Amino acid sequence: MKITNLISPFASKLLTSEGTLNTTRSFLEARRKRQKRPHQVTFYYRANDPYSFLLLQKMKQLKKDFNIELKCLAVQDLLATTNPEPELLERYALKDARLVAELWRLNFPAIKNIPSKVALFTLNQILTAQANTDDFIDAALEAGRCYWSNDFQGLKNARQSLGGLDKTACQGLLKTNQKALIKKGHYMSGTLHYEGEWYWGLDRLHYLVSRLINLKVNRAPVNIKFYSSMTQLGRLDPVANSHPNLTKQTAPTPQALDFYFSFRSPYSYLAIKRTFNLCKLYNLQLNLKPVLPMAMRGLPVPRSKQLYIMRDAAREALLYDIPFGKIVDPVGKGVEQCLAIYEYAAEEGKEQAFSLEAAKGIWAEGIDVSTQKGLRKVVERSGLNWQKAQSFLTKNAWRERTETNRQEMLAQGIWGVPTFRLGELSVWGQDRIDYLDRLLEATHSYQTFPSRTYNH
């Protein structure tokens, strides 16, 4: 076992623990008071990012509810090192934004074509002209509606009425703001930054709101429902509550859910048990589809991205009461061994048990699955025979399976995990389990589970 693998579970646990989070917050708040700074929230807004536009629709109320200084910075396109599939992301985000808008009851036009580069430049002219003004939100909403509706004439009219910087000044300010984002330690637009922490899109807005409420920054009692989706408020996962208002219905034929996951993805781990419960809840057939992690497919994962993902996964784990934090990175041999043993587990009908135990060992218990000792532990906990399992370590059937699964994902316009496919619908990310839950709610038979209390 590598010495780094002995140390990393304790280092990662310290980095992601609730105690470390609270200590860091206390230190930053004390420093803010000492420096006599206001509660400043910075919004990194990208004109052609639909998630930015959706989050924008909550910002006026956020300013009204909380005694904060909201600074809005327009940034340019994401860096290639953090966005390996820009064209796929652009198309997928457009589709996903419609689902998010539906879930949150927000406005997002149902357009088929991505707005032109000329329209994007026009919108950026408007946004950069509003830099450091109180009019940014209103201007971005007005011009953004024209942009996302492919109403170029309306966009030109908005530039005329709202103003717009020339090309050199516009591009210069976009680059300056982009550098500020990177210097702060992040890589993605549609994010809010407040005193050392990042909150991406609507999916993480409730964390910021809760933090501000705890700091007593709210001007009056806050309607938390305005800042959370349905499942974040109570039905935080499919087993949180029963469905007393539903009429049981059974689909005419069993429906299947395809679940694409990686043993190296913390979000896949967070999704595993919730996905299992979702399928139990609605009597779905679950098709597990493992893939190689991005780092083993030649796709870069920069340090800033890794750190954000780890910290974000930690707060999601805390929210859903999922063990997390003692981590040994399985990249390379560890992943390959898990995929090889998965073939054996599938033969024995224990792929769900093995996938859960391996992921839990990697992300919550500091088990090094690249070693014989660590791998044996998760194999035997899955109800599999270790002697028989070892014979699968020299086989390569897993390579064909994972490549087939990867090609299936790409055919759906998605390249990352966790990904879910339900009929003709494909969604990416454990955050979309709540959308699947809502979609399935009225059409399938369900089981009831005891309610649980969640941390926030």
Task: Say if residue 3's pLDDT is above 70.
Answer: no
Closest CA to 41 of 201, 229, 218, 208: 208
**C-alpha–C-alpha distance, residues 99 and 106, integer Å:** 10
Looking at residue 59, its pLDDT comes to 97
pLDDT band at 134 (very low <50, low <70, confident <90, very high): confident
pLDDT digits (tens, 9 = 90+) for 346-402: 999 999 999 999 999 999 999 999 999 999 999 999 999 999 999 999 999 999 999
Neighbours of 214 (CB within 10 A): 12
Looking at residue 267, its pLDDT comes to 98
Looking at residue 453, its pLDDT comes to 34
pLDDT band at 450 (very low <50, low <70, confident <90, very high): very low
Looking at residue 299, its pLDDT comes to 72
Looking at residue 303, its pLDDT comes to 83
Looking at residue 297, its pLDDT comes to 79
As given in the structure block, the two tokens for residue 392 are: 């699968």
Greater confidence (223 vs 24) lies with 24
Looking at residue 331, its pLDDT comes to 95
What does the pLDDT average to over 71-99?
90
As given in the structure block, the two tokens for residue 182 are: 């990177």
Looking at residue 344, its pLDDT comes to 98
Which residues neighbour 406 within 8 Å (Cβ) at sequence distance 6 or greater? 291, 292, 297
Residues forming beta bridges with residue 116, ordered by sequence position: none
Task: Please report how the helices 266-281 and 433-441 are oriented relative to each other, as an axis angle in degrees rounded to 10.
Answer: 10
Looking at residue 452, its pLDDT comes to 33
What does the pLDDT average to over 218-229?
90
Looking at residue 236, its pLDDT comes to 37
pLDDT band at 132 (very low <50, low <70, confident <90, very high): confident
Q: Which residues of 282-306 are buried (b: 16+ CB within 10 A; e: fewer)?
A: bebebebbbbbbbbeeeeebeebbe
Greater confidence (120 vs 302) lies with 120
Phi first, then psi: what are they for 308, rounded to 5°? -65, -45
Greater confidence (4 vs 232) lies with 4
**C-alpha–C-alpha distance, residues 346 and 217, integer Å:** 52
What does the pLDDT average to over 144-158?
97
**C-alpha–C-alpha distance, residues 86 and 77, integer Å:** 9
pLDDT band at 233 (very low <50, low <70, confident <90, very high): very low
Cα first-last separation, the chain: 36
As given in the structure block, the two tokens for residue 271 are: 């999704």
**C-alpha–C-alpha distance, residues 201 and 191, integer Å:** 6
Task: Say if residue 298's pLDDT is above 90.
Answer: no
The three-state DSSP-derived secondary structure of the chain is CCHHHHHHHHHHHHHHCHHHHHHHHHHHHHHHHHCCCCCEEEEEEECCCHHHHHHHCCHHHHHHHECCEEEEEEECCCCCCCCCCHHHHHHHHHHHHHHHHHHHCCCCCCCCCCCCHHHHHHHHHHHHHCCCCCCHHHHHHHHHHHHHCCCHHHHHHHHHHHCCCCHHHHHHHHHHHHHHHHHHCCCCCCEEEECCEEEECHHHHHHHHHHHHHCCCECCCCCHHHHCCHHHHCCCCCCCCCCCCCCCCCCCCCCEEEEEECCCCHHHHHHHHHHHHHHHHCCCEEEEEECCCHHHCCCCCCHHHHHHHHHHHHHHHHHCCCCCCCCCCCCCHHHHHHHHHHHHHHHCCCHHHHHHHHHHHHHHCCCCCCCHHHHHHHHHHCCCCHHHHHHHHHCCHHHHHHHHHHHHHHHCCCCCCCEEEECCEEEECHHHHHHHHHHHHCCCCCCCCCCCCCCC
Greater confidence (194 vs 240) lies with 194
Cβ burial of 160 (10 Å; 0-12, 13-18, 19+) is: exposed
Looking at residue 4, its pLDDT comes to 67
As given in the structure block, the two tokens for residue 57 are: 């629709």
Strands 256-261 and 191-194: unpaired
Looking at residue 381, its pLDDT comes to 98
Amino acid making up residue 1: M
pLDDT digits (tens, 9 = 90+) for 158-206: 999 999 999 999 999 999 999 999 999 999 999 999 999 999 999 999 9
pLDDT band at 454 (very low <50, low <70, confident <90, very high): very low
pLDDT band at 85 (very low <50, low <70, confident <90, very high): confident
Domains of the chain: 38-228 (3.40.30.10), 256-441 (3.40.30.10)
Greater confidence (417 vs 443) lies with 417
Task: Say if residue 1's pLDDT is above 90.
Answer: no
What does the pLDDT average to over 256-274?
97
Task: Say if residue 446's pLDDT is above 70.
Answer: no
Spatial contact of 246 and 442, defined as CB atoms under 8 Å apart: yes
CB-side neighbour CA atoms (13 Å) of 288: 23
pLDDT band at 302 (very low <50, low <70, confident <90, very high): confident
Work out the percent of the chain whose per-residue pLDDT is above 70.
90
As given in the structure block, the two tokens for residue 351 are: 């792929």
pLDDT band at 111 (very low <50, low <70, confident <90, very high): confident
Angle of CA points 409, 260, 356, to nearest 5°: 170
pTM: 0.91
Lowest mean pLDDT among 53-67, 248-262, 330-344: 248-262
Amino acid making up residue 22: N
pLDDT band at 221 (very low <50, low <70, confident <90, very high): very high
Spatial contact of 83 and 302, defined as CB atoms under 8 Å apart: no
C-alpha 234: how far from its chain's center? Answer: 19
Size of the chain, expressed as the number of residues it contains: 456
